[in-house]
Amino acid sequence: MVASTVVASGANENVEIVDIQIADISVTRRLRTTDEDKIRDLSESIASIGLLHAIAVGERGGKYVLLSGHHRLEAFKKLGRRCIPATVHEVDPLVEELIQVEENLMVSTLSAIDQATFIVRWEELLTQLGKRAQRGDNRWKRSGLTNADLAKSRGMSKRSYAYMKSIAKIHPDAQDLLNETEYANNKMDMVRLAKEEDKVQIAVASILATNKSKSFSRALTLGRCKVYSFDWDAEKKRIQDRIGKPFSIMKWDSNTTDLSRLCMLLSHDDDTRIVNREWGTVEVQAYSQHPDHSAHVIEFYTNPGDHMLDCMSGRGTNLLVGAALGRRVVGYDMNPANLAKVRSVALEHTDIDAADLQLHHSDGCVMEELADQQDCFDLITFDPPYAQGAERYTDDPRDLCNVRNMDAFYERLRECMCNCKRLIKKSDWEKKEFHPVVMKVGSVRRLQQGLHNMSTEVELIARDLGLVLHDTFFNHLYSQYAMFQMSRCIDHRYSAKIHETNLVFVKY
């Protein structure tokens, strides 16, 4: 100790600031590493105007231990100074650590993971020091800090504070990996991750740390698939049990089933996901058929080993579900990236043989690869694009999504349905054998020209081709687009369309 100065610090106490030899100050294991940029900036400031705030040290057994001011201490070392102004306190190890934690929690650049870790440790120290309210205390005898008090002191609501604490449950190995990435700063993503099992947390963190995914949601899907195996026998039984009552209005909403996880490998892939519209900062992805919807159609009309076709497969929901449920599948699409991803996902995660998975980067209306075949499919199920280019999937002019002229659109669709009639097997009413062509269609609004219902046009084409309308059913949509259009619907006095029509055609 070299010199001392007494400085007023409040009405009833004085704090003594003394110059201490830097060599006499020991630095215990810190909860947060120092920042070289901050040390450099502090060094320049101290060299210019001096030290504005003394560091704090604890005196224990005649030795000094740094309590707060690690960056200031390192800046003095960088400047080659031998002494530094400090306030001296008698302190035990718990108080020493508490001061460190509280100092670190004041840093605005902490990641969500580090902040959560510090908060949990801060609570533990307060509890050990007897400053926390005890379980069972009532409001009359309570003397310690409650959860509400702690949350308020951190400038958070109780819910946000609880969310933040939950992040500390992330496995330490995952924390280490994530703290090297920008994802550690997203609080709600880290809250989602904390709810997963340790193996999933580590898998997700590894995917993000190695840049194998461009988004947290995608990494979470991949991590779950990596850790959890697919149980297709159990999934088949689940689908069969659900099909017991085929109502005319169906709703599918689960995203935790094996089929959903399988299809998310494609629908949520960074290279195949399609953003249909952007409303401000909200991205509205192009609609993807729910896997249970596909499973309903496939299980209701076919048996394991049957042959099915999707001539406009898009991101491959029908194909992947068919592969998972033991069908032989044929698919068409104008986007080669979609087909490549369907193939890799199906062969890696389902039991389908490569010979039973035929994918064509070709026109699904013409289907020239099947020109010499007929009566060969047990089921044809597909989802044609909405009329008038409501959604854009590729730049290929042959893709129906790019045919904006209404007459040309339905002429192309007629060609497709004519080929479907040729390729589908005949049904037999007496034997109760049905091999349908299932088309899922919607409606588009043409401003003053009114509502255009695709099902009307498709039924007229089918009747002209000699296809029989065997059944219809409707599926409920969870449409983000409808939510953004609600005010427009109200202004123009029409309803938001949150359903699609499934047309079931057969040939006898």
Mean pLDDT to the nearest integer, 136-154: 70
Give pLDDT, residue 12.
39
Gap between the Cα atoms of 508 and 506, Å rounded: 7
Structure tokens at 216: 């947290």
What is the pLDDT, as a whole number, of residue 157? 92
Residues 479, 457 contacting (CB under 8 angstroms): no
- CB atoms near residue 503 (< 10 Å): 21
Cα-based distances in Å from 58 to 17, 33, 75, 107: 13, 20, 20, 22
Q: Give the contacts of 488 (CB within 8 A, at least 6 positions apart).
A: none
Of 27, 19, 13, 80, nearest to 54 by C-alpha is 19
Give the architecture (CATH level 2) of 232-506.
Answer: 3-Layer(aba) Sandwich (3.40)
Q: How far apart are CA 456 and CA 459, in angstroms?
A: 5
pLDDT tens per residue across span 395-404: 788 888 888 8
Mean pLDDT of all residues in the chain? 86
What element of type H or E holds 89? Answer: strand 83-90
By three-state DSSP, how is residue 470 classified?
Answer: strand
pLDDT in tens, 259-292: 998 998 888 777 666 555 544 544 545 567 899 9
CATH architecture of the domain covering 4-105: Alpha-Beta Complex (3.90)
pLDDT of res. 275: 52
Which whole number is the average pLDDT over 426-436?
96
What is the per-residue DSSP string for 266-303? HHT-TTT--EEEEETTEEEEPP---HHHHHHHHHHH--
Q: Do domains 4-105 and 232-506 have the same CATH topology?
A: no
Domain residue limits, the chain: 4-105, 112-227, 232-506
Q: In this model, does residue 351 exceed pLDDT 80?
A: yes
CB 339 within 8 A of CB 331: yes
Which residue type sits at 344?
A: S
CA gap 37, 55 in Å, rounded: 19
Please tell me the distance from the alpha carbon of residue 420 to that of residue 380, in angstroms, as a whole number.
Answer: 7
Q: What is the pLDDT of residue 501?
A: 95
